[in-house]
């Protein structure tokens, strides 16, 4: 089959980006969207051009590395499917596909279709865990967890952190991502002791990163490859409200949203420094 790929090309964060159209004459209905890009990249390298940078790793829909907009839809037209598992048979012969990176202030551009999602890591670092150090756990059956709670926690925990929710949201809100972790841990008895402060810290960090607010549009859950339900955002708002009352005497700090990539001995900033 034939398709035309109109791809966003941007050499670096500071360079000006533009769309470049590439005709693909030898696409196969069984190949995935990423394999189609592989084939194109092989041709580009042979022609002496710069291949298209895109993020990918497991290619079975679970690592969360891949993702871009196809014709304005995060991860493309097939529901509950990441671009690595999206096969070309879902497109029409001769169709033009517009590929764009996730666009959000909190996801700075790196190159072509690759963006920096460390803001998600910082949201988790701000409180997305249960504070239990290795070795101090009681027997696995010491605390009973109703099956229904375990199932609901699992629904929220299925998030792969790809960022499609942010890219799809007109406000570039990370509420679905943040809410998924708050709901996952808040539902389980093990996560109850820190439920209030966790929500407070994570939401504060989410805001500090420059993600927009949630206005209940629901684009996020519509494109989510793991179909995280919208109700996790309600759980987040509830826990945040309660947390901001109960924990009002606690100072909540945030991690500075850094975008630098300096490392090693030349590390100029301390990624751990709380501000």
Partner 1 sequence: MQLNARIPSGPIEQLWDETRFNMKLVNPANKRRHSLIVVGSGLAGGSAAASLGELGYNVKCFCFQDSPRRAHSIAAQGGINAAKNYQNDGDSVYRLFYDTVKGGDFRAREANVYRLAQISVHIIDQCVAQGVPFAREYGGTLTNRSFGGAQVSRTFYARGQTGQQLLLGAYQALERQVQAGTVAMYPRTEMLDLIVIDGHARGIVTRNLVTGEIDTHLADAVILGTGGYGNVFYLSTNAKGSNVTASWRAHKRGALFANPCFTQIHPTCIPVSGDYQSKLTLMSESLRNDGRIWVPKKKGDKRPPNQIPEEDRDYYLERRYPSFGNLVPRDVASRNAKYVCDEGRGVGETGLGVYLDFADAIRRLGRKAIEERYGNLFDMYQRITGEDPYEVPMRIYPAIHYTMGGLWVDYHLMSSIPGLFVIGEANFSDHGANRLGASALMQGLSDGYFIVPYTVGDYLATNKLEKVNESHSEVRNAVACVQQMTQKLLAINGKRTVDSFHRQLGKIVWDYCGMSRTAEGLQTAIDQIRELREEYWHNVRVPGSGDDFNQSLEKAGRVADFFELAELMCVDALERNESCGGHFREEYQTPDGEAQRDDEHYSYVAAWDYRGYGNREELVKEPLEFEYVHPSQRSYK
The answer to whether residue 110 forms part of the interface with partner 1 (CB under 8 A) is yes
Element (H, E) at 35: helix 33-46
Residues contacting 135, CB < 8 A, separation 6+: none
On the CB side of 56, how many CA atoms lie within 13 Å of its CA?
A: 18
Min dist. Cβ of residue 105 to partner 1 (A): 18
Q: Which of helix, strand or coil describes residue 115?
A: strand
Taking the complex as a whole, how short is the minimal distance between the CB of residue 275 and partner 1, in angstroms? 13
Query: What angle (nearest 5°) sits at the alpha carbon of residue 144, between those of residues 139 and 149?
Result: 130
Q: Which of 21, 92, 96, 130 binds partner 1 (CB under 8 A)?
A: 130
Find the binding residues for partner 1 in span 213-232 (CB under 8 A).
none
Are the C-beta atoms of 3 and 96 separated by less than 8 Å? yes
- DSSP type of residue 107: B
Query: Does residue 14 touch partner 1 according to CB under 8 A?
Result: no
Tell me the helices (H) and strands (E) count for the chain, helix number first.
8, 7
Decide if 63 contacts 87 (C-beta within 8 A): no
Of the candidate residues 103, 121, 193, 227, the single one contacting partner 1 (CB under 8 A): 121
Cα separation, 49 vs 56, in Å, equals 21
Q: Give the footprint of partner 1 on residues 230-259 (CB under 8 A).
A: 255
Told to check if 75 binds partner 1 by CB under 8 A, we report no
CA 86, 91, 170, 155 torsion-angle sign: negative
Identify which of residues 103 and 213 has a Cβ nearer to partner 1 in the complex. Answer: 103
Of 186 and 243, which has the nearer Cβ to partner 1? 186
Q: Which of 64/212 has CB closer to partner 1?
A: 64
Q: Is 118 among the residues that bind partner 1 (CB under 8 A)? A: yes
Minimum gap (Å) between residue 252 Cβ and partner 1: 12
The alpha-helical segments, DSSP class H, found in 94-230 are: 118-125, 147-157, 164-168, 175-187, 195-208, 219-223
Site for partner 1, residues 132 to 161, rule: CB under 8 A: 132-141, 143-147, 150-151, 153-154, 157-158, 160-161
Residues 40-69 that bind partner 1 (CB under 8 A): 42, 45-46, 48-51, 53, 55-60, 62-65
Shorter beta-carbon distance to partner 1: residue 85 or 173: 85
* Total site size for partner 1, rule CB under 8 A: 88
According to the binding rule CB under 8 A, does residue 98 interact with partner 1? Answer: no
**Looking at 124-132, 171-179, 208-216, 235-243, which segment touches partner 1 (CB under 8 A)?**
124-132
Give the nearest distance from C-beta 132 to partner 1 in angstroms: 4
Dump the DSSP string for 157-175: HT-----HHHHH-TT-B-H
* 81 is an interface residue for partner 1 by CB under 8 A: yes
Determine the Cα angle at 242 with ends 236 and 243, to 5°.
Answer: 80
**CB 13 → partner 1: shortest distance, Å?**
10
CB of 214 to partner 1, least distance (A): 23
Distance CA 264, CA 67 (A): 29
């Amino acid at each position: 089959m034939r398709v035309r790929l109109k791809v966003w090309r941007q050499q670096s964060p500071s360079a000006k980006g533009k769309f470049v159209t590439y005709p693909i004459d030898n696409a196969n209905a069984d190949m995935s969207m990423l394999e189609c890009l592989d084939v194109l990249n092989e041709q580009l390298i042979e022609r002496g051009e710069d291949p298209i940078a895109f993020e990918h790793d497991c290619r079975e829909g679970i690592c969360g590395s891949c993702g871009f907009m196809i014709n304005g839809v995060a991860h493309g037209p097939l529901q509950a499917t990441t671009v690595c598992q999206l096969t070309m048979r879902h497109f029409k012969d001769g169709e033009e596909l517009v590929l764009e990176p996730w666009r959000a202030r909190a996801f700075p551009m790196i190159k072509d279709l690759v963006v920096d999602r460390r803001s998600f890591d910082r949201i988790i670092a701000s409180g997305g865990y249960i504070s239990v150090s290795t070795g101090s756990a009681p027997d696995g059956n010491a605390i009973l967890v109703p099956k229904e709670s375990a199932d609901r926690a699992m629904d929220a925990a299925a998030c792969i952190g790809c960022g499609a929710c942010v890219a799809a949201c007109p406000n570039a809100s990370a509420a679905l991502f943040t809410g998924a972790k708050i709901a996952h841990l808040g539902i389980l008895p093990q996560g109850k002791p820190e439920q209030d402060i966790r929500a407070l810290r994570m939401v504060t960090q989410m805001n500090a990163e420059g993600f927009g607010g949630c206005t209940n549009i629901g684009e996020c859950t519509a494109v989510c490859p793991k179909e995280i339900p919208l109700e996790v955002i309600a759980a987040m708002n509830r826990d945040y409200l309660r947390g901001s009352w109960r924990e009002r005497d606690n100072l909540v700090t945030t991690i500075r949203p850094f975008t630098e990539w300096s490392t090693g001995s030349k590390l100029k900033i301390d990624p751990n420094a709380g501000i």
